[in-house]
Amino acid sequence: MGFSFVSDADTLRLVQSVAIFHFALTLLLLIVVLSMRVSLRLRERRRQRFSAVWPPILADAVDVATSDLPKLARRDLPDFLLLWNHLHESLLDESKDRLNQIARALRVGQVALGMLQSWNLRDRLVAIVTLGELREHSAWDELWRMTQHEGALVSLAAARSLVLIDAGKAVPQIIPLLLTRADWPPARVAEMLQTAGADVISDQLADAAVKSALEETAGNADGDGNSEPNYAARLVRYLELAHNTSALPAARTIAQSSHDPQVLAACLRLLKSAEDLTIARQCLAHEDWRVRVQAATALGRIGEDDDENRLASLLSDRQWWVRYRAAQALVNLPSMRESKLAIIQAAQTNPFARDILAHVMAEVQLQ
C-alpha cells in the first residue's frame, strides 16, 4: 500500500485541505445567499413603505399640480426613478409636465446627471431615461457622447433621450447614426422616431433615404462590391413613420433608381396611390421574391381591374408568400366577386394556384 500518488501522504494532505476548503466555501456561499435574501427582504419592506407613500402622490400629481411633497430618502431614489419613468412612459404630455415638476422639486435631475457616470449599468440606463423625460438640456453633451457607446442599450437610450429633450436638434444628428447602428432594434428605433414626431422626421428621413439609396446604387454601379450592409433599405423602412407628402416622393425616386431588392421591397410597402401602379406592376416580375411579394401586396391596396391577369399569373409563383399576397390582392380588386374568383380558380392549371385561392376565399368567408 502507498505506492500510488493517491496514497502519498503529502498528496492526501493537499487533497484533504482542498476538500475542506470546498466545504468551507460551500458554507460561506450559503451564508452569502442567506444574507442576500435577508437584504432582499429588507429592500422589499422598504419598497412597501415607499409604495404606501409615493405612488399615490405621483398618481394624484397626474391630475392636479402639487407642491406639498415629502422628503425623498436617498435610498428610495432608485424605486422613485423606476416608478416615475414607468408613469412617464404610460402618460400623455400634459401629465408628464406635472411629473417633471415633481422631479425638479426633488432635484432628481442633478442626481441623474451624477448617475450617468455610475459603473452600474442599471443606474446609468435609468439616469439616461430620466434625463430625457426631464428634458434636461444640460445633459445634452454627455448624452450625445453616449450615443457613440458600443452597447446598443446605452446608445439607443441616449439617442431617445436626446429626441425627448429637443427633437428638432436631435433628429439631424441621429439619422446618420441609423445608417451605422445595425445593432439598434428597428422596433425601438421606430418608437424613437415616433416620439420625435412625423413633422420633425419626415423631410430629413426622406432626404437621407434618397441620398443613401442613390449612393448605394452608384456604389454598386461602380462595382465596389460593398453590398453587405443595406443602409438605404433600413432608412426607407422607417419612412412608414413619415408624412406621405415626404415619404411617397422619396419612395418613388428610390424605386425608380435602385436595383437593390431590399430597398425596392421597402419602397413598395409605402406606395399608396394609383400613380404608383406602374412601379408596382413592373416589380411583379422581379427576380427576388421579396420584391414580388411587396408588389403583389401593393396591388392589393391600389390595384385596378386591369391587374387581374397579372395577379392571377402570380398565383403560380414558387414562393408561398407571393401566391398568398397575389390571391389576397385579387380578392381585393374593385370589381371582384366570388363567382369571378371561382372562374379564375377553375382556370388555374397549377394546383398550388387553386389551393391558395381556395385558402384566401375561405379566409374572406370566415371574416
Partner 1 sequence: MTLVNFILGIEYFFLLYFLALHGGYFALDIIALLTVPRYMQSRVIGDLPHSCSAFDLPISVVAAAYNEEAIIVSTVRSLLQLNYAEFELVIVNDGSKDETLEVLQQEFKLVHFPEAYRARLPSARVRGIYLSTLYPNLRVIDKDNGGRSDSLNAGINVARYPLLCIIDADSVLQRDSLQRAVQPFLEDPRTIACGGTIRIANGCQVRSGFMERAGLSTNFLALFQTVEYLRAFLFGRIGWSPLNGLLLISGAFGVFHKESVVSVGGYNIHTIGEDMDLTMRLHRQAIARGVPYRISFVPDPVLWTEAPESFKVLHSQRVRWQYGLGECISLNRDLFFKRGSGFAGWVAMPFNLVLEWLGPFIEVGGYVFMVVTYLLGLLSFRSFVVFLFFAIGLGMLLSVCALLLEELSFHTYPKMRHIVLLFIAALAENLGYRQLNSFWRLEGLVRWLLGRKPGWGQMTRTAAWQAEKLVSDDVAKL
The window from 83-91, 109-117, 137-145, 168-176 that contacts partner 1 (CB under 8 A) reads 83-91
Site membership for partner 1, residue 1 (CB under 8 A): yes
Of the pair 97, 240, the CB lying nearest partner 1 is at 240
Per-residue string for binding with partner 1, 156-175, x by CB under 8 A?
-x------------------
The amino acid at residue 296 is A
Site membership for partner 1, residue 4 (CB under 8 A): yes
Of the pair 129, 311, the CB lying nearest partner 1 is at 129
Site membership for partner 1, residue 221 (CB under 8 A): no
**Of the residues 3, 71, 94, 335, which one makes contact with partner 1 according to CB under 8 A:** 3
- Measure the CA–CA gap between 226 and 220, rounded to whole angstroms: 7
Per-residue string for binding with partner 1, 13-52, x by CB under 8 A?
--xx-xxx-xx-xx--xx-xxx-xx--xx-----------
- 3-state SS string over the chain? CCCCHHHCHHHHHHHHHHHHHHHHHHHHHHHHHHHHHHHHHHHHHHHHHHHHHHHHHHHHHHHCCCCCCCCCCHHHHHHHHHHHHHHHHHCCHHHHHHHHHHHHHCCHHHHHHHHCCCCCHHHHHHHHHHHHHCCCHHHHHHHHHHCCCCCHHHHHHHHHHHHHHCHHHHHHHHHHHHHHCCCCCHHHHHHHHHHHCHHHHHHHHHHHHHHHHHHHHHHHHCCCCCCCCCHHHHHHHHHHHCCHHHHHHHHHHHHHHCCCHHHHHHHHCCCCCHHHHHHHHHHCCCCCHHHHHHHHHHHHHHCCHHHHHHHHHHCCCCCHHHHHHHHHHHHHCCCCCHHHHHHHHHHCCCHHHHHHHHHHHHHHHHC
Of the pair 92, 366, the CB lying nearest partner 1 is at 366
On the CB side of 68, CA atoms within 13 Å amount to: 2
- Using CB under 8 A as the binding rule, the residues of this chain from 316 to 355 that contact partner 1 are 320, 323-324, 352, 355
Of the pair 20, 65, the CB lying nearest partner 1 is at 20
Q: How far is the CB of 238 from partner 1 (least distance, A)?
A: 8
Site membership for partner 1, residue 82 (CB under 8 A): yes
At residue 6, what are phi and psi to the nearest 5 degrees?
Answer: -70, -15
Of the pair 277, 352, the CB lying nearest partner 1 is at 352
**Of the residues 60, 191, 199, 305, which one makes contact with partner 1 according to CB under 8 A:** 191
Of the pair 7, 256, the CB lying nearest partner 1 is at 7
Contact of 232 with 254, CB cutoff 8 Å: yes
Contact of 134 with 161, CB cutoff 8 Å: no
Site membership for partner 1, residue 245 (CB under 8 A): no
Q: How far is the CB of 8 from partner 1 (least distance, A)?
A: 9
Q: How far is the CB of 191 from partner 1 (least distance, A)?
A: 6
C-alpha cell at 313: 399569373
Site membership for partner 1, residue 73 (CB under 8 A): no
Site membership for partner 1, residue 358 (CB under 8 A): yes
**Of the residues 77, 125, 239, 255, which one makes contact with partner 1 according to CB under 8 A:** 125
Q: Given the C-alpha cell 452600474, which residue does it identify?
A: 120
**Of the residues 10, 48, 71, 89, which one makes contact with partner 1 according to CB under 8 A:** 89
Site membership for partner 1, residue 196 (CB under 8 A): no
Binding site for partner 1 (CB under 8 A): 1-7, 12, 15-16, 18-20, 22-23, 25-26, 29-30, 32-34, 36-37, 40-41, 82, 85-86, 89-90, 120-122, 125-126, 129, 152-153, 157, 182-183, 185-191, 194, 237, 240, 320, 323-324, 352, 355-356, 358-359, 362, 366
